[in-house]
Chains A and B, each alone.
Chain A
Amino acid sequence: MILDISIGFFVSLSFAILFNAPKRSLIPIIILGIGAVLIKKYMLLYNFSLEFSTFIAAFFIGLVSIYFSHKQNIPILVYAISSSIVLVPTVNAYKAMMGFIQISTHQINNQELIIQSLHYGLRTWLVFGAITIGIVLPTQFLKKYRFKIL
């Protein structure tokens, strides 16, 4: 639990600084990042699928960042992007890529490998889709309550 909180803290803080986010938006970004990590972890513990739990975590980010952007007058994008980095499925993407490299170099007849790397590749794209749709969806149907300029 403490490890998860510190992971969320460091990842979201560091990517906010990499993207040069304004100083007053750092604390909301950290809150969002920690929340997303915890939601994803506990939904995975209760046997939800990876895609669905990522979607819910991204939805949480999108929903809460609307509140913060209304309060602080900063575009939603600033909060959403820096804090949603924690959800990116890097290991799945890496495994898919490794599988494809192995198929292309040798091991042509290894069917298990082909299916496995396809599985990881599809999973990566689905999780990416879940992140983006989860962030974009709240800004669509809550148009009325949106940030004044956005």
Chain B
Amino acid sequence: MLSQIGKLLLQHGAETELVETSIKNAAMKLGCQELAILIFPNAILLSLPSGDKVYNTQLYKAERQDVNFTALDKVIGVIEQIDETSDRAKLLEALKDEKSLSPMYPYYLRNLMAGLGCGAFSLLFGGDFYIFAAAFIASTLGFYLNSFLLKHYFNPFISIILVSFVTTISSGLLTLHNEMAHIAIASSILFLVPSVAFINSVNDLTKRHYTTGLVRGVRGVIISFAIAIGISLALHLLGVEKFV
């Protein structure tokens, strides 16, 4: 049960300190005093004492990593429910049932919101309404492609390159002879920015979880380079001089 908690938290984008303290908290509530945890960027090592000098140690892997804050909220709610009287099998079942654990917002809403957010961001840098429309269309298209590729189990980095390529091409074509084309391109790519990775990285580094912090930081840097590769490919096709 503890491992399931940790795995879920690690999969859905929690920082290391949060994973560790919530596992410890749940262990205390389940009545287990001694516990050793080692957290890797994509795995958890748990060691529980059972009897005299006999330890149960096991390694659990987190299969994928995405961002899903509702799941974090639900897992913490389950930890709160644990006490002497509660039915443990039921809680474990609740943790294992992924569908009910993290109800996603409807797909079309997320797609629309990706477009709206990036469009509004272009207004922040002084774009006009036409730029807003271009960023909206480009990022909606990009988000659609992104979720399509991830559904078919593409390598995430390659899919990021492809998505940023397509987004830049479409926003660049829409604003081909416009002076503010750079605003449209720069803001339509925004939904790919690895903000969770960067903030988690600094969070971990300052709380002395150096390994996970470094790995998350490197992951963020790789994602941003992938975005840059996609954009530069697209701009070479369209002609660099037009978009300075």
Contacts and interface: CB of A to CB of B under 8 A. Distances in A.
Given A17-B109, A102-B244, A135-B199, A22 B70 contact: yes
Contacts of B182: 91, 94-95, 98
A75 B21 CA distance: 12
A97 B113 contact: no
**Does more than half of chain A's interface fall in helix, strand or loop, or is it mixed?**
helix
Contact of A22 (B18, B69, B119, B186): B69
B68 interface: yes
Contacts of A102: 240, 244
Contacts of B200: 77
Contacts of A74: 69, 72-73, 76
B190 A20 contact: no
A14 B117 contact: yes
A64 interface: no
B215 interface: no
Contact of A10 (B15, B117, B190, B235): B117
A115 interface: no
A150 B13 CA distance: 14
Interface in A85-135: 85-86, 88, 90-91, 93-95, 97-98, 101-102, 105, 128, 131-133, 135
B95 to A, nearest CB: 16
A149 B21 CA distance: 7
The size bracket of the interface on B is: 35 or more
A68 to B, nearest CB: 13
A13 B118 CA distance: 11
B116 A10 contact: yes
Contacts of B105: 17, 20
B231 interface: yes
Given A95-B182, A136-B199, A101 B73 contact: no
Given A20-B69, A74-B73, A90-B186, A132 B198 contact: yes
Interface string B17-30: 11001100100000
A47 interface: no
Given A15-B191, A73-B76, 7 more contacts: A78-B72, A85-B195, A90-B121, A94-B186, A102-B244, A136-B199, A136-B202
Interface of B: 13-15, 17-18, 21-22, 25, 67-73, 76-77, 79-80, 102, 104-105, 109-110, 113-114, 116-117, 119-121, 123-125, 182-183, 185-187, 189-191, 193, 195-196, 198-203, 206, 228, 231-232, 235-236, 240, 243-244
26 contacts: A3-B123, A7-B124, A11-B117, A11-B120, A14-B117, A15-B117, A19-B196, A20-B70, A20-B71, A22-B69, A74-B69, A75-B14, A75-B69, A75-B72, A77-B69, A77-B200, A78-B73, A85-B190, A90-B121, A90-B186, A90-B189, A91-B182, A94-B186, A98-B182, A131-B199, A132-B202
